[in-house]
Structure 1
Amino acid sequence: MTSAAAIAAAAVVVTGGLTAPAASAAPSAATVLSEVYGGGGNSGATLTNDFVELANHGDAPFALDGFSVQYLPASANASWQATKLTGAVAAGGQYLVAEAKGAGGTVALPTPDATGTIALSATAGTVALVSGGDALTCKTAADCTTDPRVKDLVGFGDAVVREGNPAATPSNTTSIARAESLTDTDDNSADFTAGAPTPTNSRGETTGTGPGEPQPVSARIHEIQGTTRISPFKDKKVGDVTGVVTAVRSFGSSRGFWFTDPEPDSDPRTSEGLFVFTGSTTPSVAVGDAVTAQGTVKEYYPDAPATSNYQSLTELTGAQWTVESHGNRLPPSTVLTPDQVPDALAPNAGGTIEPLPLEPSKYALDFWESHESEIVSVSDARVVAPSNSYDELYVTTKPQQNPTPRGGTVYLGYDKINTGVLKVQSIIPFDQQPFPKVNTGDVLTGTTSGPVEYSSFGGYTLFASRLGAAKDNHLQKETTRRQRPGELAVATYNVENLAPSDSDTKYAQLAHGVVDNLAAPDVVTLEEIQDNDGATDDGVVAADLTLRKFTDAIVAAGGPQYQWREIDPVNDKDGGEPGGNIRVGFLFNPARVSFVDRPGGSSTSSVGVVTEQGKAHLSQSPGRVDPENEAWTDSRKPLAGEFVFGGRTVFVIANHFNSKGGDQPTHGRYQPPERSSEVQRQKQATVLQDFAAKLIAADPSANVVAAGDLNDYQFSPALAKLTSGGKLKDLISTLPPAERYSYVFEGQSQVLDHILTSAAPRGVDYDVVHLNAEFADQASDHDPQVVRLRPSTGNRLPDLAYDLLDYLDQLLGRTAPRG
């Protein structure tokens, strides 16, 4: 769109023969008005309500909290009317706002995402998408243009306020709508055309408005569910669907009820349960009611169905039902025993598994799908991931499947997904039973039961209508031993988007983790340090305020006065939260270790390796490793630093590889899932390995420590590349398999963080310190880790002397630095 400033400037030129320019609203990043209809309930109309539809042409969800849809009639002296919005428009998705209902029409809108009471004109007016809920006051095109709250705007008929020329005049039977491409040329007449209204909500549901709509087809629930993931009745109207209500969701934006046919068929592939979606309306049914329902069968995806990586949920929408009787006995639940869910996750389809016949005895995803919307139950379920801010937790139905010593379930290979892991949410109102706050290893005692559904966030989910009591197994946060005088301790810690605006509580918790749990390491590589104003995207890249607040918190926690080294990135070039400018950096304790400062390091300059008297050194310290290499596009650049400990040189490289964003989910409809983000991490691993190899080629006895959040597993191609040739050793792989984790995702304890060392250091002692990932109360979502080592001098006799001193320190229990 043309800039608002340019139009505002042009607006002052109103002389003979010229009129004020039409509005050209500054658009939102991704979401626009896509359809407007004001004829609902009018004479000749089929639809009963007016509506406004939004669409998101971006590649990320667009939050609508604080936004409104507003309407200005075309008549003189009219005022703007507003309908406040909540929720979000999914990437590639739509969002439906229902407005006033007329006396006529016969077809209701699909379940709206927001509801207002504005009576739109069928033929003329202006609709705007506004950041804010207060009614606009502008009455002319130029005035509306200068209001920065207006993000998109369409005037139709003889509207005075519009972009360019007004859109065509709609009617009681037609709406105005953008083309599917959502083209926005600043001219409403070019962008919108009149046609039959096609209201579509965030679930992709629409409403036929033509004559002669088909009559519902009688169907049983197991016929609707079918023997694959997609219902044979998809997008068809069904009737005479009978069952007993087993659970009701009475809050949130996805309300509805589940019902189950008490007379199942003999096919184990077909579920007997079905969810009836009622949107933001609480259904007037109770558990135990026998109902007969009709509605349209839909496959719900959380985003655009054509491009979704996720599985769908078969549900009944636009439903009507009759309660035949109350207090009926519920159909029995499926009791989940340890051996019931298969160990294999899914068939190797080489693409989508949706059309494949279900094999619930062979594959876990098929097992859950064959019980979709049925009641399942599990007894004394062990928690394998802590409760979170979304009121979710994870349990295992297979307690002997790859258990960790601390109660989790460890992920050890792409073909070793822990299929017993099940997400639990609650449909019990929280004022009746608050959602439990639990840690890994706790237990939901007794029975936890409820309908099971697929969720894009976490896979199959038990929506508990009965929630077991939480038993605290008193999991303790780990502490590591303090390094001895002759040991150098190097730790790595992802501090999760740390910014000055974060609470003092978070800073204190992180600081105590460094001082108490990590025993004040000599060097700490930090990941996710944000700039001085956090996620505000205003060009600020310095992070000295963030680091000063953190080091001050460490002192307040009883720790040393750490110094720091880092290099500010180029604004918005290193990925992460927009505006945050996350980077890696070093903290070091100058009482124990010295940093060798060499000038020349910058956001774009590349550190090199130089040799002096047979010893390797960095050309810059700190210095970034090949920052202009395309491997680091939109990703953090590694930072190399040269340290001296007890007269011995140690090279530490801080890292934060690109995230797994864009990968297909392990539980999605594509099996095996595509891990597209791995390509960049392999390139990053190649650059890092090459740099480490140059250090070791310059000095075979070089002490090299590469540490950080590599965003990948110990069995991944990226780690295979890093460790190929034997120059670097990944220390996580030296631990027993059950202890190889530093992060918990969707109930799977797994590795993202690593410390790798060259062959030169001696007495290498490595520890992952579990103090975050397994706990509901966490300062970061990552666990830190630490390595203690004796650096080599490159000369056997001095090394033996250092080893002897360290042995004496160990015998005498000394921990203070030597004088």
Structure 2
Amino acid sequence: MRRPATVGTLGVVALAAGLLVAPQQASAAQIRIHDIQGSTRVSPLAGQAVTGVPGIVTGVRTYGSSKGFWFQDPNPDDNPATSEGIFVYTSSTPKVQVGDSVTVDATVSEYYPGGADTGVQSVTELTKPTVTVVSSGNAVPAPVVLRPRDIPSAYAPQAAGGDIEPLTLQPKKYALDLYESLEGMNVEIDNARVVGPTDAYSELWVTAKPDQNPTKRGGTIYENYNDPDSGRIQVQSLIPTTQAAFPQASVGDELTGATSGPLDYNQFGGYTIVANAIGALKSGGIQPEVTRKQHDDELALATYNVENLAPSDPDSKFTALANGVVHNLSSPDIVALEEIQDNDGATDDGVVDCDQTVGKFIAAIKAAGGPSYDWRSIDPVNDQDGGEPGGNIRQVFLFNPARVSFDDIPGGSSTSAVGVTKVNGKAQLTASPGRIDPSNSAWNASRKPLVGQFTFRGRTVFVIANHFVAKLGDQGLDSRFQPPTRSSEVQRIQQAQDENAFVKSLLAVDKHADVIALGDLNDFQFSPALKALTSGGVLKDLITTLPVKERYTYDYEGNSEVLDHTLTSPALRNPDYDVVHINAEFAHQTSDHDPQVVRVKP
């Protein structure tokens, strides 16, 4: 969680000291934690001062901007909707320990991590605290074990107007209600399978429902909007790194034994076990995949989001990406790259050229034993295509001139729209490389599709490299608004419609034209944007041809999902398509996206 830097005037002395501690000083318990938590998502006592609230300390957070502790009432009520635990925000390092029996005078607050306007749920907590330690070394309340059968498959309730905050919690009916009813309490998950790998912030995702929508390699598939995977839960750690390093886990690994601690909620992962104990890591054994080499009469195309690649990146990143292209992707004939930055990366100084970035990558591929790729791209207008400020990310075509030729047609620029003409009865681009409709508002602050005309074994092939607008601003699956609003979807639908119209213009000239559209579309195979892109049958989304358990290119919050796509026109029959899992499932990854390869016979 991220915290505001200021605090109120009440309790300033306590905050300045971390906590005001008066050992052995008891106070009358007038309000219990379950009274504060209430049976909805918002406390009935929000904004009120409470005194003498009793409980046992279950966890202490001494790092970050959200310092404080959790404590729990060892004498619960009989209402399953009311939590018995709560977080006490101290702002400075707490001076209590796990097992301390305490009473707390404080103000009841509702905190929206990341801001209420993002749609996140709130955390009921105590702020501006004065804490009295009554005794130490007490037994901590036993954790609630999250067993698969106890977690509802239904994810969230629905509400008129969308806001579920006022609804009475139904923990036996909805997973979000169950987790909210346990907010701040000590919980446990046993023998938990990892479904989201360890990230740079020492976080990972596990599932408490191991049989729910499993992937072929140990993850959890996200199949549709209406049925989010309810067993996913994030794991962080309260254990000092001097005592135990956070496990470096990949998808399919297992935390054997018990992982337990207070149940928190944060903007970066929703409900989270902030663990005092983490199970031992057992490898699931997944390995990076390798696709087969294309045959002589097959044209192999790949798409790969290389995650803000810039010359300033360490050589090890270039080497790892190059090894992926050469060894895991088996040196495709054409590689559509996304997120190639300009020559000085995120420095925002007007530079838009990317020849140094691409040249360094091509050299790394050659050093890894790959072909001597050539390349084509169009520089964007400075700071107009979104992405990291100053980075000027764009799509780039790499191609192996020993296998395929690029049909250079002058006239393409960052602001001019590519068109289609007829030459000798066949479709031809008016510019190659070119950009699709760059002045259309659908592409504002977003990458414009890059189109190239290639020749393979005498046959013309049209390739469109894409990077649709990101999901920034969308409400999360665990939003307090259900169903969550996907605000960014509106622009992706417009982008898809624009590109669909361009492909139709190609096929109107030559219905047998070989068209391949590929790249990071930032949306799911079942989304309205993909339906708009494939409208009229002009393109087929190849991810839908795979078995359901293999339909993913990305891992987000423990969901194995599709963001990257390869689509082909009807003339390209029987494409051989493969998502090559080398990144998204692994703790150590070169990019956060998995590349994919299609082999076709034009």
* Alignment TM-score > 0.5, same fold: yes
The reply on whether 1:518 has 2:329 as its aligned counterpart is yes
Are 1:341 and 2:151 an aligned pair? yes
- Partner residue, 2:21: none
Separation in structure 2 between the aligned mates of residue 749 and residue 341 of structure 1, nearest angstrom: 20
State the SS of the aligned residue for 2:263: strand
The amino acid that maps onto 1:773 is A
Distance 2:42 2:573 in 1: 59
Question: What SS does the corresponding residue of 2:247 show, helix, strand or coil?
Answer: coil
Please give the secondary structure, in 2, of the residue aligned with 1:763: coil
Structure 2 gaps of 5+ residues are 19-26
TM-score computed with the length of structure 2 as normaliser = 0.96
Deviation at 1:106, TM superposition (A): 8.6
Match of 1:271 in 2: 83
RMSD across aligned positions (CA): 1.9
Q: Deviations over 1:364-413 (max 9, x none)?
A: 11100000111111111000011011000000000000000111001000
Identical amino acids, percent of aligned pairs: 60
Counterpart amino acid of 2:522? Answer: N
Instruction: Tell me the amino acid that sits aligned with residue 619 of structure 1.
Output: T
Does residue 195 of structure 2 align to residue 384 of structure 1? yes
Aligned partner of 2:12 in structure 1 is 108
- The letter for the 2-side match of 1:332 is A
Shift of residue 292, structure 1, vs aligned partner: 1.6
When the two structures are superposed, what TM-score results if normalisation uses the length of structure 1? 0.71
Query: Which of 522, 531, 536 is 1:720 aligned to?
Result: 531
Q: d(CA) in 1 for partners of 2:377 and 2:143?
A: 57
Establish whether residue 414 from structure 1 lines up as the match of residue 414 from structure 2.
no
Shift in alpha-carbon separation, 1:390–1:107, aligned structure 2, 3 A: closer
Match of 2:436 among 604, 622, 625: 625
Cα displacement string for residues 485-523 of structure 1 (whole angstroms, at most 9, x for unaligned residues): 000001000000000001100000000000000000000
Tell me the distance in 2 between the aligned counterparts of 1:97 and 1:225: 22
Match of 1:251 in 2: 63
Retained in 2: the 8 A contact 1:423–1:462? yes
In the alignment, structure 1 residue 427 sits paired with structure 2 residue 238: yes
Residue identity matched to 1:379: D
| d(CA) in 2 for partners of 1:700, 1:253 | 59
SS of match in other structure, 1:432: coil
In structure 2, relative to structure 1, the CA distance for the partners of 1:343 and 1:286 (3 Å cut) is same
1:230 to 36, 42, 61: 42
Match of 1:571 among 382, 397, 422: 382
Give the Å deviation of 1:279.
Answer: 1.3
- Equivalents in 2 of 1:311, 1:426: separation in Å? 22
Out of 211, 219, 229, the residue aligned to residue 31 of structure 2 is 219
Q: 1:327 offset after TM fit, Å?
A: 2.3
Residue-by-residue CA offset, 1:771-801 (whole Å, 9 max, x unaligned): 000011111000000100100xxxxxxxxxx
Aligned counterpart for 1:370 among listed residues 173, 181, 184: 181
Asked whether the 8 Å contact 2:499–2:533 carries over to 1, the reply is yes
Confirm or deny: 8 A CA contact 1:217 1:237 kept in the other structure: no
**Structure 1 residue 239 corresponds to structure 2 residue 48:** no
Residues 183-202 of structure 1: pairs in structure 2 closer than 5 A: none
**Which one of the candidate residues 549, 571, 574 is aligned to 2:360?**
549
Deviation at 1:277, TM superposition (A): 1.4
Aligned counterpart, 1:31? none
**Which 4+ runs in 1 deviate beyond 3 A?**
109-112
Tell me the number of residue pairs that the alignment of Structure 1 and Structure 2 aligns: 593
Partner of 1:767 in structure 2? Answer: 578
Question: CA deviation digits over 1:289-316, x for unaligned, max 9?
Answer: 22122111111122444x3411111111
CA shift, 1:338, in A, is 1.0
Residues in 1 aligned to 2:490 and 2:10: alpha-carbon distance in whole angstroms: 54
Unaligned runs of 5+ residues in structure 1 are 1-86, 99-104, 116-214, 792-819
Q: After TM superposition, list the pairs within 5 Å mapping 1:706-745 onto structure 2.
A: 706-745=517-556
Counterpart for residue 43 of structure 1: none
1:216 touches 1:238 (CA, 8 Å); kept in 2? no
Aligned to 1:322: 132
Counterparts of 1:591-606 in structure 2, within 5 Å, are 591-606=402-417
Q: Whole-Å Cα distance in 2 between the matches of residues 437 and 233 of structure 1?
A: 41
CA distance in structure 1 between the partners assigned to 2:141 and 2:100 by the alignment: 12
1:576 maps to amino acid: G
- Of 784, 788, 794, which residue of structure 1 is paired with 2:595? 784
The whole-number CA distance in structure 2 between the counterparts of 1:406 and 1:462 is: 24
Return the alpha-carbon distance in structure 2 between the equivalents of residues 510 and 546 of structure 1.
13
1:705-745 CA distance string (max 9 Å, x none): 00000000000000011112111000000001111000000
Secondary structure, aligned partner of 1:554: helix
Matched, 1:532 2:348: no
Q: Which amino acid aligns with 1:277?
A: Y
C-alpha distance in 1 between matches for 2:566 and 2:15: 51
Contact 1:657/1:684 (CA < 8 Å) preserved in 2?
A: yes
Which residue, 678, 681, 695 being the options, matches 2:489?
678
Q: Look up the match of 1:500.
A: 311
**Separation in structure 1 between the aligned mates of residue 282 and residue 385 of structure 2, nearest angstrom:** 43
Letter in 2 for 1:263: N
Q: What residue identity is the alignment partner of 1:599?
A: P
Which entry has the higher C-alpha Rg, 1 or 2?
Answer: 1
Instruction: Assess, with a 3 A threshold, how the Cα gap between structure 1 residues 107 and 227 changes in structure 2: closer, same or farther.
Output: closer
